[in-house]
Each structure stands twice: as C-alpha cells, then as structure tokens.
Amino acid sequence: MVKDYSIDTLVVHQPNDDKFNSSIAPLYQTTTFKQKSVSDLGQYDYTRSGNPTRSQLEFQLGKLIKSDYTYAVNSGMSCLDVITRLIKIGDEVIVGDDLYGGTHRLLTFLNNNKSIKLKHIDTTDTNLLLNSITSNTKFLFLESPTNPLIKVINLPKISKFIRKNFPQIKIIFDNTMMTPLLLSPLDYVDIQYESATKYLNGHHDIMAGVIATRNLQLSQDLFFIINATGCGLAPFDSWLLLRGLKTLSIRFAKQQSNTLIIANWLESIGFKVRYPGLKSHPQYELHKSFNKGFGAVLSFETQSIKKSEIIVENTKIFGVTVSFGCVNSLISMPCRMSHASIDEKTRKERNLPEDLIRLCVGIEDVNDLIDDLKSSLILSGIVQEIDGKLIKLNQSKL
C-alpha cells in the first residue's frame, strides 16, 4: 500500500530512476538524443519535445498540484500565452478587474485585435459575475487573492454554478499567490497555472511557469502548443526549479508568519492594510473556507503618492522591484511598476489607488523588516514617533 505523504514531505522527497542511483535528479543538458535505429526510437528525441530533467520536474509538480497532466514552460506569461491559444476567434472571455499587469496587457491586446471579446468583472461580486455569463462565454480567468488589491473570490461557489449550468466554459485559475501548499485549484477549475519564478523556485534566479489539468483533451491541446511553439522549460532551469522546490514549505511558512506580523503592525498604526490574514479583511472568513493559509503579499495605502514614493525609495532591506515570491523582501508601487501597463483611466475605474504600496515579504528577521519600514515611514513624515509609539498623522496634517 502506497502511503499518502504530506505535501511538506513531497516537496523534499524527489525519487528518480537514474541508473546510477543519483541521490538527486541528474541534469540532462542536451539538445538531442541518439536513437538505436531509425525504427527503434526512444522516449526522447529532441529537448523541445521533452527532456528527462523536465519530465522529472513535471512529475514532481504533478504530485504537489494533484494534477494528471503537468507542463513546465519558460515563464508565467508563457503559461498564459499557451492557454490563450485555446481561445477561438470571437469567443467571449470573462476576467477579473484586478489582474496582474502582464495578464491585462496580453488579454487587452487580443481583445483590441478582435481575436476575443473581453469582459472585465468584479469577480468578488459572485452574483454579478454569474449574471454576466452568456451563451457565448467560453473562458473565465480567475485569481485569488488578486494582485495587488488582495481581493478574494468565492471559488467553490463560482465553480459549482458554472459546472452545473455552463459546462462549456473553461475555468482558468492563476495560483501563483497561494501555491499548491495552500490551495488545490483543480478541485474547482479546468486549468491552473502559476509563475514558478515566484514561490515555487523562491530565489529569483530563473524564469519558469507551470500549467496543469486533469482533462485529457485539454492536456493534449496544451502539449501540442508547448511543443509547437518551443516554450518548454530548459533542462538547467528545470534542475534549478527542482532544487528550489525542496525548501518551498519552510520558506513559505516563514514568509507567511512574517507577513501576518507586519500586517498587524501596519494596521495598529492606522494604515488601511489589504491582507486576507487580517480579521478586518472583508473576505477573511471566505478565504479561510477554502485556503490553508494567507500568503505573503500585502498592500497598504498612505493617501499620498509623494509619501508612498518616499517610503518605497528609502527602505534598506526591502528591495524596490517588481515581482514577488523570493526569499528576500520586496517593495513597490504597483501603479508605477508591475501594473503600469494598465492606463491611469482604467486604474481609476477599477479603484486601484495610485498611492498603493505592495510588500512581498521574505524570510528575514521580522524585527529587522519592521525597523526598516519604521525608519522609512518616519522619514516620509506620514508617522511620528512619540514616547516610543508610532502615531499616524491625519491626512490634513501631511
């Protein structure tokens, strides 16, 4: 009887069938594979179509994701590119109103070139979303929590309704924020994908993405596109991602712990903090109902673009950069950086605050991180320290 191991064990335990009994999966850094004869072809012939190192990674990811078919590609955006090639001209596609900037950019391009009919909906309003579906709707793209507004959708309810009433709709879910540790989206959706550049690898030294499904036909379509376009993950990057996966559980646990402490600290000063681990979050209970944790990304508002700029530009530990998910902490202003491809008018329509600061919390000592933020907040003038206590100034005093 095969034991069903915890995911914390699975990320570390990576058995392989190397004939020399290597304790880790070997790196097959080769483009092509010799064949015994023209009529006796082996499992692999050309790395674009498949490579033992990538196969080992896909097998490992499949166990974590609980998928039947898993594919590693060369970035998170490659995942989206592959998936959007399933969309036919004229198909109606529903997406959220708080999307990763790169996702928005690609889908908007397809919409503007009349390839698809795109609808942006507040996916946290379940009734609004479900009432927006028509007979022409073929795809639904979801994220939860969203980035950077950290909004939570009712994924179980949405999935149940669509599978019962609109089985022709393919539900696509970006699980980058939660990872397989906290959520198994394939219990609810047809295809899940995530940027493995982020938490799965955890060190920001490779670009990678993963696409997974339990549907045979979808898997065949996805593999055809990946093979035809040549976006499969390279052997060395596959090997590095296998290595990064081994510490996923311990990294993410520390990152979540740090994030919750920082979120509570910022809220105690008086900032509006967006983090699903706070009881003040409007979808706190909903998030808990189908996720096993809260993630390691938060955002907060200052009510002053200038103050936000000063805060972001004067941290010493938090690095000013786009992206998230690595072991070191990052800080950014999404409207100026990761979501700058969304025009100002659209950002305003979607209530994306220009002063919003996003923190992507790493594994450093949490007291050092708080001290770093504290110094930057004081320097900006948005808070004052009086008798050892931080006081947030009213907007009128800024």
* 64 found inside a domain: yes
Q: Does 217 lie in the same domain as 270?
A: no
Q: Does 315 lie in the same domain as 174?
A: no
Q: Which of 221, 245, 269 is the last residue of a domain?
A: 245
Q: Does 226 lie in the same domain as 86?
A: yes
Q: Does 274 lie in the same domain as 223?
A: no
Q: Does 140 lie in the same domain as 61?
A: yes
- Report the alpha-carbon distance of residue 181 to residue 65 in Å, rounded: 9
- Report the alpha-carbon distance of residue 253 to residue 139 in Å, rounded: 33
131 and 101 in contact (C-beta within 8 Å)? no
Q: Position 85: which residue type?
A: R
Phi first, then psi: give them for residue 322, nearest 5 degrees: -80, 180
Q: Does 165 lie in the same domain as 101?
A: yes
Q: Does 283 lie in the same domain as 237?
A: no
Distance of CA 92 to the CA centre of its chain: 24
- Report the alpha-carbon distance of residue 391 to residue 257 in Å, rounded: 24
The label of the residue with tokens 């990674």 reads 57
208 and 72 in contact (C-beta within 8 Å)? yes
- Report the alpha-carbon distance of residue 237 to residue 228 in Å, rounded: 20
Q: Does 266 lie in the same domain as 190?
A: no
Distance linking the first and last C-alpha atoms of the chain = 66
- Report the alpha-carbon distance of residue 371 to residue 285 in Å, rounded: 31
Q: Does 371 lie in the same domain as 266?
A: yes
Alpha helix segments (H runs only) across the chain: 7-10, 52-65, 76-84, 101-112, 126-131, 155-165, 179-182, 216-229, 235-245, 248-269, 284-290, 305-313, 344-349, 366-380
152 and 145 in contact (C-beta within 8 Å)? yes
Q: Does 23 lie in the same domain as 171?
A: yes
Phi first, then psi: give them for residue 73, nearest 5 degrees: -125, 180
The CA distances from residue 382 to 45, 88, 89, 368, in Å, are 61, 50, 50, 20
* 1 found inside a domain: no
- pTM (2 decimals)? 0.94
CATH number reported for the structural domain that contains residue 95 in this entry: 3.40.640.10
Q: Position 5: which residue type?
A: Y
Q: Which domain holds residue 34?
A: 7-245
Q: Does 315 lie in the same domain as 379?
A: yes
Tally Cβ neighbours within 10 Å of residue 196. Answer: 31
- Report the alpha-carbon distance of residue 139 to residue 168 in Å, rounded: 9
* 81 found inside a domain: yes
Q: Position 257: which residue type?
A: S
CATH number reported for the structural domain that contains residue 307 in this entry: 3.90.1150.10
Q: pLDDT by residue for the chain (398 residues), tens digit each?
A: 456 889 999 999 888 888 899 999 999 999 999 999 999 989 999 999 999 999 999 999 999 999 999 999 999 999 999 999 999 999 999 999 988 888 989 999 999 987 899 999 999 999 999 999 999 999 999 999 999 999 999 999 999 999 999 999 999 999 999 999 999 999 999 999 999 999 999 999 999 999 999 999 999 999 999 999 999 999 999 999 999 999 999 999 999 999 999 999 999 999 999 999 999 999 999 999 999 999 999 999 999 999 999 999 999 999 999 899 999 999 999 888 877 777 788 888 878 889 999 999 999 999 999 999 999 999 999 999 998 899 998 765 44
pLDDT value for 395: 61
Domains: count for the chain: 2
67 and 194 in contact (C-beta within 8 Å)? no
* 2 found inside a domain: no
Give helix 101-112 / helix 76-84 axis angle, nearest 10°.
Answer: 30
The alpha carbon torsion through 113, 116, 122, 124 (nearest 10 deg) reads: -140
